[in-house]
Amino acid sequence: MEYLIETKSKRIKALFEIIVPRMLKELKLTRSRKTLLIKVCRDGIDGHEGSTVALDPIDSYVVLIKPKNLKEMGITLAHEMVHVKQLAKGTLKQVDGVNYWNGKRYRKNHRYLNLPWEIEAFSKQELLFRKTLER
């Protein structure tokens, strides 16, 4: 998977340049033909620390991360990278603003922490981040 990191901070860019390839390898996404843009920004996240959007017509994903301390940003990035894997493998699909998990439709009224893709991402984020730091 090709990726681009967009941030004004040299420290954040340096960290992400180290951990993103490791996360892609750990998540078995290195051979994916999709493209990934990771952008550190304050806008467009609506109360969350990060957000992932699939841009299906151009085979790409956009991950937005709010600037925080490096550890929190790394954990948030790991969380969002789990969503990238879910989308890339087709487990999670976004169609016209509606999410599907393994073919089951989930409306917007479901509680955030009860959504299966969030349960998986929260359960894997810390371990994924730590693994990428240990190499």
Provide the CA 68 distance to its chain's centre, in angstroms: 16
Q: Give the pLDDT band of residue 44 (cuts 50, 70, 90).
A: low
What does the pLDDT average to over 25-31? 97
Map out the domains of the chain as residue ranges: 2-134
List of residues 6+ apart from 19 with CB closer than 8 A = 74, 77, 129, 132, 133
Which residue reads 């994924």 in tokens?
A: 128
pTM confidence score? 0.93
The conformation of residue 113, written as its DSSP 8-state character, comes to: G
Q: Give the pLDDT band of residue 6 (cuts 50, 70, 90).
A: very high
Please say if the pLDDT value at position 74 is more than 90.
yes
Six-digit token string for 30: 């290195």
Please say if the pLDDT value at position 72 is more than 90.
yes
